[in-house]
Amino acid sequence: MTHDVGKGPDFPLAAEIAVLRQSWWLHDARWYQAVRARFGAEVANELNAEVMRFVARRVAWQYGRRHPLPAGSGPREVAAVLQALARLMFSRAMVRLDVTGFAADGSWDTVVREHFALKMLAASRSLAEYRCPCLELRAGWFEGIGVKADDEVVSCMRDGAEVCRFRACLK
């Protein structure tokens, strides 16, 4: 009997992508926990934010090469690209988010209603020491697509809020 080593299980593409995402985020979680155990939460949070920004910038840059943002794009177009980037990095089952509240000043809100990382951190009893790298992730996205923006955390589930809310405004 022969076995074709190069032939693995036949997954539909969507299932392969889901496994890849889950594996990446499992690696990320285990890496964070290992750094935290060996060097402390402060170092783990600092390195996590640095790496998250790098990965987000790279994903956004690659996306932008295939789907360039037209010159003069406004908040709605940029927000749509950020949503597309979130869908590349996180499945809908992992993160539930919506873009809302486009204001006259050019700002808009992104509302995250559910995030798997917070659940996993709570389950591992690491949530108290964890510092969310969300602004670094978003900064990486903005850099990767070549957009300058002011971005702030308005509310954070990590701090007890019902939702995470980010407000961005193009510069």
List, for residues 108-122, the tens digit of each pLDDT value: 999 999 998 888 888
Mean pLDDT computed over 45-70: 97
pLDDT value at residue 14:
84
Please write the tens of the pLDDT for every residue from 60-118: 999 999 999 999 999 999 999 999 999 999 888 889 999 998 999 999 999 999 998 88
Q: Looking at residue 152, what is its pLDDT?
A: 98
Q: What is d(CA 44, CA 40) in angstroms, rounded to the nearest whole number?
A: 6
Distance in angstroms (rounded) separating the CA atoms of residues 6 and 46:
39
Query: In the prediction, which pLDDT does 9 show?
Result: 66
Which pLDDT does position 25 carry in this prediction?
Answer: 82
Task: Say whether pLDDT at 10 is over 80.
Answer: no
pLDDT at position 13 is: 87
**CA gap 41, 131 in Å, rounded:** 9
Region 35-56: mean pLDDT is: 96
